[in-house]
Amino acid sequence: MNSTNNLPLISTLALSYLRSLFVICSSFVRLLFVFCSSFVRLFFVFCSSFVRLFIICLSCYDCLCGSHRLLFVFPISFS
- The per-residue pLDDT for range 20-74, each reduced to its tens digit, is 999 999 999 999 998 888 888 888 888 888 888 777 766 665 555 555 555 544 4
Other CB atoms closer than 10 Å to residue 17's CB: what's the count? 10
Length of the chain: 79
Write down the pLDDT at residue 73: 46
DSSP letter, residue 65? S
What is the distance in angstroms between the CA of the first residue and the CA of the last residue of the chain? 63
Q: For the whole prediction, is pTM greater than 0.75? A: no
Cα–Cα distance, 30 to 38 (Å, whole number): 12
41 near 78, Cβ under 8 Å? yes
pLDDT > 60? residue 77: no
